Amino acid sequence: MSAVVKGPPPLICGPPRGDESGPLAVQSLSVAKLGFLRVKGSNAIGSTFLRPIQAMEDSSVSLRNDCAAISGRNLRQMSTMENPTNIVWHKSPVEKLDRQHLLQQKGCAIWITGLSGSGKSTVACALSQGLHMRGKLTYILDGDNVRHGLNRDLSFKAEDRAENIRRIAEVAKLFADAGIICIASLISPYRKDRDVCRALFPEGDFIEVFMDVPLHVCENRDPKGLYKLARAGKIKGFTGVDDPYEPPLNCEIVLQQKGRDCAPPGEMAETVISYLEEKGYLQA
């Protein structure tokens, strides 16, 4: 049953194509910004292959030993290929239950979804702080932050947004398996993409939190000035403006706008913490 902080119904656009509608600068990131990749100990194994990879002017990488250039898109295609039959899962002697017993908590993913400006990151931080004060180990995967590193090669096109969400879900799964309470904060507008993420986790370990805040409230806040840019036509495919958002249908927790005033982030965080306590995630 969802924990609801009641308020007026949301005025929300349909599902947007992907995740964060972040800075435009991220949309076109060339490998030129990556500089050189230096491999230690190259003399020991295959030194003719493991040479520094120099950034090129375009978005491809050229190996000096005349190997075929590998573009960022090709790398993503390689990463989504079916596993060959020679890859076998290696079982560890220390398992999830052992790690959870050590941390005295249960690993899970708290997936905070909602429009840009709905307060996802603010609530994520308040939640992490509240759990930290209770002696619980958390980690936040913020949609914008992840695009500074792991997902820096992804644009805001539909297919890249879906890949952005997939990668974050896989990382959240690893954190949860380590016994950590992982808080993922990103727009993730499509139900289909969120359902794919949920399917990665054991039953109950994916906790979807919907920031149910009306579009006009989010646009009035506009903390990053992105709605203004979208309305001016400088950002295309922006969630809530010219791309839809699909609200969750069966999420675990709904955090709603209260009249004209939004509930304090700490109060919303306590709603999530109460859910975790009730479901036994704050003890091993």
* Per-residue model confidence as pLDDT tens for the chain (284 residues): 555 544 444 444 444 444 444 443 334 433 333 333 343 444 433 333 333 333 333 333 333 333 333 344 444 444 455 666 788 889 999 999 999 999 999 999 999 999 999 999 999 999 999 999 999 999 999 999 999 999 999 998 889 999 999 999 999 999 999 999 999 999 999 999 999 999 999 999 999 999 999 999 999 999 999 999 999 999 999 999 999 999 999 999 999 986 677 789 999 999 999 999 999 999 98
pTM of the model: 0.71
Q: How far apart are CA 172 and CA 178, in angstroms?
A: 10
The pLDDT value given to residue 157: 87
Kindly give the interhelix angle for 265-278 and 120-133, rounded to the nearest 10 degrees. 60
The pLDDT value given to residue 257: 80
Amino acid at 35: G
Which positions are catalytic?
A: 188
The pLDDT value given to residue 80: 52
**Token output for 82:** 């079916």
In the three-class reduction of DSSP (H, G, I as helix; E, B as strand; rest coil), residue 186 is classed as: coil
